[in-house]
């Protein structure tokens, strides 16, 4: 009597399991969610226009009164657009999804959908440390979720057609971005005069990424010789 080895069930997260599905529906859903979130950013300003009109206010007065809200709208709009562009570039070559990738993406979308709430707080509420923590912390969390998605894809190449070096470069960029968000948060709290201007530290992402990648590349070359 011979015994046969037990069948090995495919892992749904390694790109071969039955739960792995096409990524097209996830991409379309993500695009729709981001579009809605970007639209929601304008709603507080729309309401303020209605209120100003009912009170007989003028255009110039409205712009002056809501300057901070306008800046926060523009900033959040640009940041969400930047996050979406990065996500779009990643998923352009993702062909299949797994349960874990699906939930990681849902987590990323949650941070995007939440962002209109702290954005509405800016200019409408008194600026304090809690507000800075909620707003900049939310941005940092979005960056962390992007980092998690790239790291997962790096470990599961069967789901996509992205070169490993490209994913590693993206992971490094996400790590630098997250670090700069956290530094900006600390600066905005420790030096109140700086406030949200600390977010301009994000302009350093590209040069820091270039320097860090060169250092990583040199280290890899030395270890290979």
| 158 part of a folded domain | yes
Q: How many folded domains does the chain comprise?
A: 1
Cβ burial, residue 105 (10 Å; 0-12/13-18/19+):
buried
Say if 163 falls within a structural domain: yes
What are the DSSP calls for 19-53, one per residue? T-EESHHHHHHHHHHHHHHHHHTTHHHHHHHHHHH
**176 inside domain:** yes
What are 70-128's pLDDT values in tens digits? 888 999 999 999 999 999 999 999 999 999 999 999 999 999 999 999 999 887 788 89
Q: Name residues of the chain where pLDDT drops below 70.
A: 1-20, 224-225
Query: pTM for this structure?
Result: 0.85
Q: What is the pLDDT of residue 8?
A: 41
Q: Does 16 map to a domain?
A: no
Residue 11 lies in a domain: no
Domain containing residue 97: 21-52+59-220
d(CA 121, CA 1): 73
- Within-domain flag for 128: yes
């Amino acid at each position: 009597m011979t015994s046969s080895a037990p069948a090995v069930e495919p892992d749904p997260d390694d790109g071969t399991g039955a739960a792995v599905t096409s990524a097209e529906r996830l991409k379309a859903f993500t695009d729709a969610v981001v579009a809605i979130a970007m639209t929601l950013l304008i709603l507080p300003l729309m309401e303020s226009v209605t209120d100003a009109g009912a009170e007989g206010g003028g255009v110039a007065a409205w712009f002056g009164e809501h300057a901070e809200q306008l800046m926060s709208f523009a900033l959040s709009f640009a940041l969400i657009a930047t996050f979406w562009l990065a996500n779009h570039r990643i998923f352009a070559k993702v062909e299949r999804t797994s349960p874990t990738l699906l939930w990681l993406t849902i987590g990323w979308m949650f941070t995007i959908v939440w962002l209109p709430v702290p954005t509405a707080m800016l200019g409408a509420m008194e600026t304090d440390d809690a507000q800075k923590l909620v707003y900049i912390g939310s941005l940092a969390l979005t960056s962390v979720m992007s980092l998690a998605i790239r790291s997962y894809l790096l470990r599961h190449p069967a789901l996509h057609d992205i070169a490993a070096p490209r994913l590693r470069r993206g992971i490094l960029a996400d790590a630098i971005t997250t670090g700069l968000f956290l530094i900006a948060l600390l600066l905005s709290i420790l030096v109140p005069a700086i406030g949200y201007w600390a977010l301009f530290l994000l302009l350093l992402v590209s040069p820091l990424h270039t320097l860090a990648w060169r250092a990583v590349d040199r280290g890899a070359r030395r270890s290979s010789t």
